[in-house]
């Protein structure tokens, strides 16, 4: 069933209820949102020339029009392609080309970057700037009937960060998103009809996923007027709105806790945090300031928002003998998945033993877009192989131990070292390099590059910075460069990143 049935139901049952707010101002009601989505669907299937299953790119900062375009794509029987708005135009170009995007909706601030990305990709696709004349004409044009969709049809093509230099598109079906929504109601929170989903985090990622449960009950979606995360604004909205819920990276939670003004957000209902490690000291500080309003989820784009959950009850169980240990875990398996920790042969390991985290359930992706080999490998044996390492305790609580893919999580964004290493190795004077994460008090981790110049050469860090800025997003750029004659290696000649991390950790002692 088409996920957009949720919007049609809300439009019929509560057409005058506010659907979207922009800051404190009402933007549109559910009847208006459904009509605009149907008209945009008509434009996508008409003037824009898109066919069933085509991909519609959404390269946008957080804005109310994002929701209009997203629901328009679903209504038309197309696949939404939300794209991280922080990406470099070359990274954008790769996704547009790999996904075969048929159209691209952008916010005005990103129009120039979008045009460059499309040019680099060599794709002559229509670029629609929201809020401008063409978009407004499409939004108020002829409505289309909602296209029927099956459970296995593509709804959201979610591009993960690339572990081998290029990202892969996780194919999320209508059924995947229905299951994710059910898990929210069971494991995270029951959304009241007067609730408000606040979107300070990117709607192209976790925050956008969690807008769906609020849509299901006809609750309000709130896009901050700033379009992003500003602590003053967030705390003010949590005073002026009712039953506020939001998804936040741990670094955002910490910034709220440390913010000196704005009160204690009395109408804050739920903060769901994830996307990176939340240190126990930071979490207890958040609980002290805001109370028992926190839920942790662990998930991946391939199993959207759904692997494990640490519910608010565990955050409140201060008398439990293993309270702090549980706060340091990521909780237990969510209701719509099975989770196990396995050895390299996919055999389940005993309690307390570290292994790779495997997941299966109807919420797990269909596979990777145009990557049959990668799909078969990642989903072998019917289990999603996350690449993350962890261990269960006797009560079924999972603790993450390491990330086998060496992913760095900075400010809630996933950064894969090889992607940066491949750029640095383009410099003619770089012989070898290795990128690792260094713990950072505010951002969780920051990117550090170890570089060995070619014999007799010197490398200017400014040149490496320039190379990165020409090819990858700014947030992935190394914050520091360490130079050495050679990097540590094992007997097989592979760089030993653990030694580099140990060096950084010893410096911080």
Contacts of 51 (CB under 8 A, 6+ apart): 45, 102
pLDDT of amino acid 193 = 95
Tokens 């008090």 correspond to what residue?
441
CA distances from 375 to 99, 220, 305, 347, 384 (A): 16, 37, 19, 20, 9
- 1-12+27-149: what CATH class? alpha beta
Sign of CA dihedral 322, 327, 329, 335: positive
pLDDT of amino acid 240 = 92
Tokens 């044996």 correspond to what residue?
381
Contacts of 49 (CB under 8 A, 6+ apart): 102, 126
Relative to beta strand 127-129, strand 25-29 is: unpaired
Tokens at residue 196, please? 């408000």
* DSSP type of residue 129: E
Instruction: Parse the chain into domains and list their residue ranges.
Output: 1-12+27-149, 415-507
pLDDT of amino acid 402 = 59
Contact by Cβ (8 Å): 245, 191: yes
The helix (H) or strand (E) run that includes residue 11 is helix 5-13
Going residue by residue through the chain, which has 509 residues, state the pLDDT in tens, using 9 for 90 and above: 999 999 999 999 999 999 999 999 999 999 999 999 999 999 999 999 999 999 999 999 999 999 999 999 999 999 999 999 999 999 999 999 999 999 999 999 999 999 999 999 999 999 999 999 999 999 999 999 999 999 999 999 999 865 445 899 999 999 999 999 999 999 999 999 999 999 999 999 999 999 999 999 999 999 999 999 999 999 999 999 999 999 998 888 988 998 886 567 889 999 999 987 677 888 999 999 999 999 999 999 999 999 999 999 999 999 999 999 999 999 999 999 999 999 999 999 999 998 999 999 999 999 999 999 999 999 999 999 998 889 999 999 999 875 666 778 888 887 878 789 889 989 999 988 999 999 888 888 999 999 999 999 999 999 999 999 999 999 999 999 999 999 998 654 678 888 998 899 888 65
- 415-507: what CATH class? alpha beta
Contact by Cβ (8 Å): 129, 29: no
Contact by Cβ (8 Å): 216, 1: no
Contacts of 216 (CB under 8 A, 6+ apart): 6, 10, 181, 185, 191
Q: Which among 411, 414, 473 is positioned nearest to 444, based on CA atoms?
A: 411
Q: What three-state secondary structure class fits 77? A: coil
pLDDT of amino acid 282 = 86
Contact by Cβ (8 Å): 210, 191: no
Please count the helices (runs of H) and the strands (runs of E) in the chain. 18, 25
pLDDT of amino acid 163 = 45
The helix (H) or strand (E) run that includes residue 206 is helix 206-209
């Amino acid at each position: 069933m088409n996920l957009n049935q949720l919007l049609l139901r809300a439009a019929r049952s509560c057409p005058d209820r506010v659907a979207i707010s922009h800051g404190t101002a009402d933007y549109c009601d559910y009847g208006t949102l459904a009509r605009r989505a149907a008209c945009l669907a008509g434009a996508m299937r008409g003037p824009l020339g898109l066919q069933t299953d085509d991909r519609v790119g959404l390269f946008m900062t957080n804005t109310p029009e994002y929701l209009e375009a997203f629901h328009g794509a679903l209504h038309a029987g197309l696949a939404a392609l939300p794209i991280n708005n922080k990406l470099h135009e070359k990274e954008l170009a790769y996704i547009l080309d790999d996904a075969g995007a048929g159209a691209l909706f952008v916010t005005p601030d990103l129009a120039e970057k979008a045009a460059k990305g499309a040019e680099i990709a060599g794709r002559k696709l229509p670029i629609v700037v929201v809020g401008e004349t063409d978009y407004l004409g499409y939004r108020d044009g002829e409505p289309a009937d909602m296209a029927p969709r099956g459970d296995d049809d593509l709804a959201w093509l979610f591009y993960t960060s690339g572990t081998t230099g290029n990202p892969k598109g996780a194919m999320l079906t209508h059924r995947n998103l229905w299951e994710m929504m059910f898990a929210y109601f069971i494991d995270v929170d029951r959304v009241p009809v007067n609730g408000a989903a606040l979107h300070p985090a990117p709607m192209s990622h976790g925050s956008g996923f969690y807008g769906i449960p609020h849509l299901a009950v006809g609750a309000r979606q709130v896009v901050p007027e700033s379009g992003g995360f500003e602590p003053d604004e967030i705390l003010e909205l949590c005073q002026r709105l009712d039953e506020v819920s939001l998804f936040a990276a741990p670094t955002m939670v910490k910034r709220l806790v440390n913010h000196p003004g704005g009160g204690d957000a009395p109408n804050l209902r739920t903060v769901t945090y994830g996307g990176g490690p939340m240190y126990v000291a930071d979490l207890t500080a958040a609980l002290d300031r805001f109370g028992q309003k926190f839920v942790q989820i662990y998930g991946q784009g391939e199993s959207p928002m759904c692997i494990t959950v640490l519910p608010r009850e565990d955050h409140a169980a201060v008398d439990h003998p293993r309270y702090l240990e549980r706060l340091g875990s990521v909780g237990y398996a969510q209701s719509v998945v099975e989770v196990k920790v396995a050895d390299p042969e996919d055999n389940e390991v005993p309690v307390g033993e570290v292994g790779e985290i495997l997941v299966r359930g109807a919420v797990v992706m269909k596979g990777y877009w145009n990557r049959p080999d990668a799909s078969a490998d990642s989903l072998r044996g019917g289990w999603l192989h996350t690449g993350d390492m962890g261990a269960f305790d006797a009560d079924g609580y999972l603790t993450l131990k390491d990330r086998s893919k060496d992913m760095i999580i900075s400010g809630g964004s996933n950064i894969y070292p090889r992607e940066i290493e491949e750029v640095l190795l383009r410099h003619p004077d770089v012989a070898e390099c290795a990128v690792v994460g260094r713990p950072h008090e505010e951002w969780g981790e920051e990117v550090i590059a170890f570089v060995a110049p070619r014999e007799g050469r010197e490398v200017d860090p400014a040149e490496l910075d320039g190379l990165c800025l020409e090819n990858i997003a700014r947030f992935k750029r190394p914050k520091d460069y360490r130079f050495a004659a050679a990097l540590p290696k094992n007997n097989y000649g592979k760089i030993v990143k653990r030694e580099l991390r140990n060096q950084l950790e010893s410096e911080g002692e």
